[in-house]
Amino acid sequence: MLIGIDLGTTNSLAACFRDGKAEIIPNRLGGRLTPSVVSVDADGVVYVGETAKERGILHPLETASVFKRSMGTDREYILSGKKFSAEELSSLVLRSLKEDAEVYLGESVTEAIISVPAYFNDLQRKATKRAGELAGLNVSRIINEPTAAAIAYGMGSKGGDARYLVFDLGGGTFDVSILELFGPIMEVHAIAGDNFIGGEDFTALLTTMYLERAAIAPESLDVRTMGEVRKAAERCKCAFARHSEGTMSCTIDDQPFEMTLTLAEYEEACAPLLEKLRRPIERSLRDAGVSLAEIDQIVLVGGATRLPVVRRFVSKLFGRIPGVLVDPDEAVALGAALQCGMKARDQEIKEVVLTDVCPFTLGTEVMVDNGTFEEGGHYLPIIERNTVIPVSRTQTVCTAQDNQTRVNVKILQGESRMSYNNLLLGEVSVPVPAGPKGRESVDITYTYDVNSLLEVEIHVQSTGVHRKIIIQNEQNRMSEGEAAARMEQLQYLKQNPRHEEANRLQILRGERLYEESTADDRTAIDRGLMEFERVLNRQDRTEIERARKKLAKLLDKIEFGTN
């Protein structure tokens, strides 16, 4: 039996497709949502879901939650002396969903389609797939959460062909997607997002406000007391859905303290969080080449979209009331179940064709001529983000040095113009005949499929030598500490020729616009930044000011369309 699973940061749920429709599978307690929480006692007994969440109040050090944000990293959670990775904890949640589905369906469940945030990178997607395998499931497909939600919404809508913007704000991640439904085809045009903002952050804000008003330092509280404060903050946040004010009340060190907050005060405090939601929306619209006026439906997905402060933000931003045809908590799971029906070629939906896009740019590292010398470490995009998949693209590169005998191809994922700021997925090396630089040409072909599987093929034109690998592991990955240390060092090095704030501002702005742009605009920004950096190195203030104005004019044209 094949089921669809929404593996969420705060809650998870499963659904199936049978008798011509998608339906949510209840858990063993009769609920539709299973908290993504795991607790382990001293005897090694594992608790999952609502029981683990409840146990976590009394035993916070033996309980883990919000671990989805650490998928694909080296972070370890220690529960009752036992070490767990995020994917191992996720596998326990998935196993619980699998067991509940088997009881409900009365048959063995061996296969699943699991949803992930659209902005999950390669490592995070592979970690999710492994979590499913650890739970005893064959993960036949990884589907983007907004895409799944759009499937559920589009098939439930009677409005015919339409273009959708899916606003997916869950417990820990945010995605926005532009999709179009025309006839039997559901086509994804663009996706963007932020893996580190969600409903949990809106709860954390209330916790911070409460402690500040009570003049209590967070570090002075033990883990259990802090857990009680967070629980009170969650209740207060939910109260705003029904009332114009919320109250938090806790007893700390035998001293009661109560805070009453109006919705207007809370909304004002949420302004920085809401601003973080704006940029992915703007990027997705820009990448899709559409305006807000061309969007027919705004679809809210994820439990955090129930918050009045979020709904008011969306309504104000888009100038209309968003759609709520499908329960925000259940839309992704229902869409994953509908995808199960498509895979099984169920007669009810077998005519539906789904196209998706590559969420991140894939490329390699090259040397470029900066006008003075050959400069290494630059990023060469091969498959641009938001390219419809499956896709195959080829770029030809040449040897960069005299008497070079090997070409080393770094396989990278990301949006930065400098390779070291992107994610290294792997490397391939091929031998080439020694000779003058530029004489040997090498074709690099990237092929990316709907299951986030990347095949890289290297072909030396003169000798016919081929190398091919499939990226499906986590080799060459640095720990968070190593990455942070390296980035700190690189940042120090980058500051040296950029003494003045105005110069640093334009360079950082250019770096940001490069990540937000594609194709010709990226090339123009890269050249503009290299030209400015050459001038900076000459240390002539008059020349630097002139070059800075020229760069600012270029960036204004790209960002605002000005001349």
Most trustworthy range by pLDDT among 274-288, 353-367, 468-482? 274-288
Q: Is 540 known to be catalytic?
A: no
Q: Is 145 known to be catalytic?
A: yes
Secondary structure (3-state) at 276: helix
Considering Cα of 327, then 189, then 5, then 337, what sign does the dihedral take?
positive
How many Cα atoms occupy the beta-carbon half-sphere of 406 within 13 Å? 8
DSSP, residue by residue, 467-513? EEEEE-S-TTPPPHHHHHHHHHHHHHHHHTT--SHHHHHHHHHHHHH
Q: Is 449 known to be catalytic?
A: no
Taking alpha carbons only, the member of 161, 166, 152 closest to residue 180 is 161
Confidence (pTM): 0.73
Split at pLDDT 50, 70, 90, the class of 19 is confident
Catalytic pick among 53, 68, 129, 410: 68
Q: Is 6 known to be catalytic?
A: yes
Structural element, H or E, at residue 252: strand 245-252
Burial class (CB in 10 A: 0-12, 13-18, 19+), 244: exposed
Catalytic pick among 62, 88, 168, 526: 168
Q: Measure the CA–CA gap between 113 and 101, rounded to whole angstroms.
A: 14
Structural element, H or E, at residue 112: strand 111-116
pLDDT at residue 474, rounded to an integer? 40
Strand pairing report for 111-116 and 138-144? parallel
DSSP, residue by residue, 366-397? EEEE-SSSEEEEEEEEEE-TT-EESEEEEEEE
Catalytic pick among 62, 145, 329, 533: 145
pLDDT at residue 347, rounded to an integer? 63
Which tens digits make up the pLDDT trace of 313-334? 999 998 888 866 778 899 999 9
Which tens digits make up the pLDDT trace of 430-457? 999 999 999 999 999 998 877 667 889 9
Q: Give yes or no for residue 80 having a pLDDT over 60.
A: yes
Q: How many helices (H) and strands (E) does the chain have?
A: 14, 27
Residue count (the chain): 563
Q: Measure the CA–CA gap between 450 and 355, rounded to whole angstroms.
A: 9
